[in-house]
Amino acid sequence: MSIVFDSEKKIFKLDTATSSYIFQIYEQDYLVHLYYGSKIPDNNVAGLKYRGGFPSFSPNNINVQDWMFSADVTPLEYSGEGTGDFRTAAFAVRNADGNNSTDVRYKSHKIYKGKPAIDGLPSLYVENDDEATTLEVLTEDSVTGVQAVLYYTVFENLGAMTRSVKVINASDKTVEIERVMSTCVDYHTHDYEMLTLYGRWAKERSLERRPLAHGRQMISSKRGSSSHHHNPFAAIVDKGATEDYGCAYGYNLVYSGNHLFEAEVNQFAGTRVIMGINPDSFGWKLEPGAEFNSPEAVMVYSDKGIGEMSRIFHRLYNKHLIRGKWRDIKRPLLINNWEATGMEFTGDQLVTFAERAKELGIDMLVMDDGWFGDRNSDRSGLGDWQVNEEKLGGTLAEFVNKIKALGIKFGIWYEPEMISRDSNLYRAHPDWCIHVPNREKSIARHQYVLDYSREDVRDYIFGEMKKVLSTCKIDYVKWDFNRNLTEVGSAALPADRQKEVFHRFVLGTYDVMNRLTKEFPDLLIENCSGGGGRFDPGMLYFSPQIWTSDNTDPIERLTIQFGTSMCYPASTMGAHVSACRRTGYDTKGNVALWGTFGYELDPNKFTDADKRIVKRQVKEYHKYYDVIHFGDLYRLISPFDNPKRAAWEFVSEDKNEALLTVVTITRPEDSAIFIKLKGLDPDKYYMDDETDEVYSGALLMNAGLCFPNEDISDGASFVRYFKVIEN
């Protein structure tokens, strides 16, 4: 079994395909962390609890016989606030006495096959109980009666585990949760680097790497969403770790709101890592008998470099996060009208788009913003989700039938969490937006944010969406989110629950998305937030793909897609060919193939040459779909390291196919491109689909190939496809 308990040593050992995670029930029922790293067969690691001597300034528990034990320096499995551990706490509850001293100790545990869902929150799942094993550890604060159930689930065959916490108020007094981290890990050293993904609108998920130093280093969001600025992903990696060598510990939070990842190096050069809901502006009033669930943290370990860490995440999410009909089948290749028309379109104009799209082999037309209410600019209409029949030239059903008659699918745009000041909904319900009393409301993109902590608001919006989506067969919804939360308050909550609004808003969004996916199980949802402002596992649970960035420039997209791939698979990355002036359609298509693929332009403006290129790209999309969406990614040349060139490769699970893509960013000094492939079977032979040359996997990986005749001008690119042949 992948989780075992040694009753004699009181040690828990959790094994994945790549790692072992070990902790112990120690004296006075403290839970002490012992080891997290490469897989080991035994559990003789109890000595790792000792992290050096300490002076009187690190207090002792007088009931613990081990004089070397202090909560201040011992690696604790789930640390509390104000009871001897001066490092960043994982858990803090303000009790009825007014203090927040928190100290949870072991009470009991159980181990079972399978994985439970988390009430109200997205989480990884299993389709049968043999795919994972779960450990539940019940801990309790003996003074306050507050309990914390620590959940650990091991995906043994995938080298990954998840952690979450359920807080239970088992006392007869109300308490307030001030901090509840989803995971806490104490490393014995600080000889690591911290890898994170920072960014901004149209420049998301750039890679940043820095050595750990004494003190606290963190990333976070308090914008009400996971944000463009700091993705809820981070990794702790060996100094000098590369794509292929070194240890990498990856962390990702299955949450779409305010988050925190922190690494604190203490006085003995140990490192504590925590991840969870950002405690800034968070609080949760917990009545007697009530429960609170933390979001789930995903933990991946690899001793074969950063690249293998990423591939473990990709395999895990493709099978245990992405759900529903669109997980395993080919998704439609779409064209979106936004960059061609904005909101200024007519139904007849979109029908011509669909006609041209059908001629090119495109599967679906998506009608973007502007189809509803009085929505002819971004100043009005949000919240009024009634079809503008004058613009469409008839009912939505009549319009969609025209599109369907051409033999292609149809999609539609929504921004369900937002409301315009100039809208019928706002005039009727001004209290339905997030706001605080007597304070001016900040405006962004001429809109406010609906208060999704309110059930009546959620019911209304879902009801309006259901009316539209039920009128005809709509295949796809683009769910947008174009501003962050300010003046965060709810008119429906009392003063002592206003700190709950941020989290309740996220729970409300999940509630509406969950209703939508249950009501319309065949619907394909693509998430968007000004591009990639809410690219996180929480959204992926409901929408199997997310618009990666509003920036569709193929050269700019290189860093965006390389950064995103640190954690998220190609199947989740919305990537389209646009009318951007930099590079030709060849490179635009080659870059967009690393994702869901589609078009953002006016097909009526294509030349005959453009049409030939697009038709070829459509064929390539179908030909390479499986190897890209379900294969393993190898980042060969990173644009973060090489300003002149980028290269990546996809290899099928059975190692029978490989797709190599190379992009020249700026013309380099060398006149040839030399590439060593990765991930192939050294004993198999592969044919280059373009030249018909045959090479062994060993040659392609060890000797490599030289491409002397390829175009190396600025923005040029090429793709090479290799397939196994019989010996």
Q: How far apart are CA 388 and CA 421, in angstroms?
A: 19
Q: How far apart are CA 315 and CA 298, in angstroms?
A: 13
- Strand-pairing partners, residue 238, are 192
Matching residue, tokens 């890592």: 273
- Strand-pairing partners, residue 707, are 673
* Residue 503 backbone class (left: φ over 0; alpha: ψ -120 to 50; beta: rest): alpha
Q: How far apart are CA 419 and CA 448, in angstroms?
A: 5
Q: How far apart are CA 155 and CA 164, in angstroms?
A: 15
Tokens of 180: 């509840």
Matching residue, tokens 């997980």: 327
Catalytic residue among 368, 550, 586, 632: 550
Contact 474, 407 (CB under 8 A): no
- Strand-pairing partners, residue 284, are 177
Interhelix angle 608-630/347-360, nearest 10 degrees: 70
Sheet of 19-25: strands edge to edge?
3-6, 11-15, 19-25, 31-38
Interhelix angle 455-470/501-519, nearest 10 degrees: 30
CA distances from 655 to 8, 652, 701 (A): 45, 5, 13
Neighbours of 207 (CB within 10 A): 18
Measured over the CA atoms of residue 676, residue 677, residue 679 and residue 683, the dihedral's sign is negative
Tokens of 328: 């395993």
Catalytic residue among 451, 480, 553, 586: 480
Q: 344: buried, middle or exposed (CB in 10 Å: 19+, 13-18, 0-12)?
A: exposed
> Beta-strand (E) ranges in 653-707?
657-664, 673-675, 685-688, 694-696, 705-707
* Residue 390 backbone class (left: φ over 0; alpha: ψ -120 to 50; beta: rest): alpha
- Strand-pairing partners, residue 217, are 263
Query: Is residue 576 helix, strand or coil?
Result: coil
Distance of CA 397 to the CA centre of its chain: 35
Q: How far apart are CA 71 and CA 60, in angstroms?
A: 7
Tokens of 146: 């507050």
Contact 278, 222 (CB under 8 A): yes
* Catalytic site includes residue 480: yes
Q: 674: buried, middle or exposed (CB in 10 Å: 19+, 13-18, 0-12)?
A: exposed
Provide DSSP, 35-79: EEEE--S----GGGG------TTSPPPTT---TT--TTTS-BSS-
- Which residue from 14, 258, 309, 1 is spatially nearest to 150, judged by alpha carbons? 14
Tokens of 151: 């959940």
Which residues are the active-site residues? Answer: 480, 550
